[in-house]
Amino acid sequence: MPEEKRIIAGIYHLSKRLSRHFTLKDINFQVANGEFVFLVGPSGAGKSTLLRMMYMDDVPDSGQVIVGRFVSTRMKRSTICSLRRKIGIVFQDFRLLEDRTVFENVAVAMKVSGRGMSEIKREMTDILSRVGLYHKRYECPAALSGGEQQRVAIARAIANRPSILLADEPTGNLDPYVTKEIMELLFKINSGGTAVLLATHDVELVRSFGQRTIYLEDGRVVKDSGRVFEGDLLRSISDSQVERRAREFRDRRIGRGEKQDGTGNTNRPEGGG
């Protein structure tokens, strides 16, 4: 039986002023479990900023970001660490620890989550085999190609079995052949149940895969090819304030004439490609 769709991350009425002339305005989108979503827009459209707000490296001026049980409006410094241990993040520039081996780079994410060395060693074989780098586990990043370095970054991102992986232009520094390899790897991870939100400016790349795509332009979402509703996630958060906001949000939508079914979901197509 296919797993029931539920929202695992969402952005709600988010606004953020990025410069004097550019503001992200009223951004809304949600990602369900196991979904693969492209976030597309030209360079400088605010894709990276949105991702940064999803791993709480930045805060919205208004609106909120919810990832799992973490809500941006009530995040503390200490809870940011907990959030980041539950998500995976991949960057264009890989961000690897240059003075450590492949093994150590991946292990660091597991160590900060409080896992012991014996457990790390036990799981490492599987993780590194999945990204095809087990044979290079004792190499340092400088000895690896760009594609291999990105694989290490992906291995680190999935080391703690996150429910969502945020990828910020993960193929931006790679040639088309390696790009295809990395995309295949990300799809493989996604098929294991991890949702992937991939930000890119490469429209061709997006077209070739035909997944749900959110288009960002002039600081707004101009198109979302498969929108899902945020109700489930909001209901699962026990904070009464958030619940109230969710109700208000739902009421507003009903007021705008959108129909709602008995489970709290609007009659919109479910996402997932």
Q: How far is Cα 10 from Cα 31, in angstroms, rounded to an integer? A: 6
Q: How far is Cα 163 from Cα 197, in angstroms, rounded to an integer? A: 11
CB-CB contact of 92 with 172 (8 Å): yes
Could you say which residues in the range 115-174 bind another protein, by CB under 8 A? 115-117, 156
Residues in the chain, overall count: 273
CB-CB contact of 216 with 39 (8 Å): yes
CB-CB contact of 233 with 10 (8 Å): yes
Residue 34 or residue 88: which is nearer to another protein going by CB? Answer: 88
- Which listed residue (15, 28, 73, 113) binds another protein by CB under 8 A? 113
Q: How far is Cα 108 from Cα 216, in angstroms, rounded to an integer? A: 34
Helix (H) or strand (E) holding 105: helix 102-112
Could you say which residues in the range 183-202 bind another protein, by CB under 8 A? none
Q: CB count, 10 Å around CB of 2?
A: 6
> Measured from the CB of residue 41, what is the shortest distance to another protein in angstroms?
22
The tokens of 269 are what? Answer: 């197509």
Task: From 37-45, 80-88, 172-180, 199-207, give the range in contact with another protein by CB under 8 A.
Answer: 80-88
Task: From 79-87, 168-176, 218-226, 244-252, give the range in contact with another protein by CB under 8 A.
Answer: 79-87
Task: From 81-89, 134-142, 172-180, 228-236, give the range in contact with another protein by CB under 8 A.
Answer: 81-89
- Which listed residue (32, 41, 65, 84) binds another protein by CB under 8 A? 84
- Which listed residue (37, 109, 199, 228) binds another protein by CB under 8 A? 109
Q: How far is Cα 51 from Cα 27, in angstroms, rounded to an integer? A: 12
CB-CB contact of 85 with 113 (8 Å): yes
Helix (H) or strand (E) holding 267: none
Residue 110 or residue 233: which is nearer to another protein going by CB? Answer: 110
The reply on whether position 78 binds another protein by CB under 8 A is yes
> Measured from the CB of residue 83, what is the shortest distance to another protein in angstroms?
7
What is the number of alpha carbons within 13 Å of residue 10 lying toward its C-beta? 26
Residue 18 or residue 108: which is nearer to another protein going by CB? Answer: 108
The reply on whether position 89 binds another protein by CB under 8 A is yes
> Measured from the CB of residue 226, what is the shortest distance to another protein in angstroms?
29
Q: With CA atoms as reference, report the closest residue to 154 among 116, 183, 125.
A: 183
The reply on whether position 101 binds another protein by CB under 8 A is no
The reply on whether position 85 binds another protein by CB under 8 A is yes
The reply on whether position 99 binds another protein by CB under 8 A is yes
CB-CB contact of 4 with 232 (8 Å): no
Window 7-46: contact mask with another protein (x via CB under 8 A) = ----------------------------------------
Site residues, another protein (CB under 8 A) = 55, 57, 77-78, 81-86, 89, 95-99, 108-109, 111-117, 156
